[in-house]
Amino acid sequence: MTKKFLLHRLVVASGISASLADRMELEAHWETLCHRVQRRHHGDVVTGLLLLYPTCALHIVECSSEALVTVLQDLGGVHTPEHSPPTAYARVLAVSHDLPARLFLQWSCKTLPPAARTLAGGSEREPTEKLVPDALEQLVQLGQHMLKLPKGSKVAMDAALDQVPELMVPQGVVEELLRREELLTPQQYLEVYHSPLNAMGDSGHIFSSDSPTTV
């Protein structure tokens, strides 16, 4: 029997489809997905942050159990023709369960310039066990920074995020994480999540479940 939780936090890295003409299509897709989830599950609020790089993206999503499955299905390519996701492939970095509070109070999207690509310290040589926690720590700090901000327009949020470029995970790190085959794809995570032997639970990591390198 699948264990259910009141609030999840999902962190996923994804590639961007080569057929995507404009990165803003990905932002629009996620806004539509959030609205669709909230209409389907009355009272369900989806919050988080989408960081859009020139070639990839980082998705942080806070939602209920039902919404989590819908988001993972979307990222994994389980969709209807009218809701075809503009992502090429994805890796689940972490999932936290049964959270006491949200880190993100609204849904936001930040488009990052090519300069964010810079590799930090040769990430291609870093083990996954270090890359994932380091990236998650940056995202936690970014979330804590955003918690201090009043809810506002996209322009106001963009301006606030521009003040903390050091909290943005470099594009090169995201690209490297997408190459790490030990990280589960959304499809693989769903298979484990729905397994009768599923024993996933938060292990005390900032974002992650049993193993930060597999979920």
What CATH number is attached to the domain comprising 72?
A: 3.30.70.100
Residue 205 covered by a domain? no
Q: What is the pLDDT along the chain (215 residues), one digit of tens a residue?
A: 444 558 999 999 998 876 665 677 888 888 888 888 878 777 778 999 999 998 899 999 999 988 888 889 888 765 444 444 556 689 999 999 899 999 998 888 999 887 544 445 566 778 999 999 999 999 999 999 988 887 767 787 888 888 898 999 999 999 999 999 999 999 999 988 777 655 444 433 333 333 333 33
* Domain count of the fold of the chain: 1
How many CA atoms lie within 13 Å of 207's alpha carbon, on the beta-carbon side? 28
Residue 2 covered by a domain? no
Residue 202 covered by a domain? no
* Residue 153 tokens, joined: 């327009």
Compute CA distances 91 → 30, 57, 145, 169, 187, whole Å.
17, 11, 25, 15, 10
Residue 48 covered by a domain? yes
Its pTM stands at 0.81
Residue 211 covered by a domain? no
How many CA atoms lie within 13 Å of 114's alpha carbon, on the beta-carbon side? 0
CA distance 91 to 185: 5
State the residue range of the domain holding 145: 8-193
pLDDT of residue 177: 95
Residue 111 covered by a domain? yes
pLDDT of residue 197: 56
Residue 210 covered by a domain? no
pLDDT of residue 87: 60
pLDDT of residue 204: 34
Q: Between 154-162 and 128-147, two packed helices, what is the crossing angle to 10 degrees?
A: 120
pLDDT of residue 5: 54
CB distance 33 to 82 below 8 Å: no
Residue 51 covered by a domain? yes
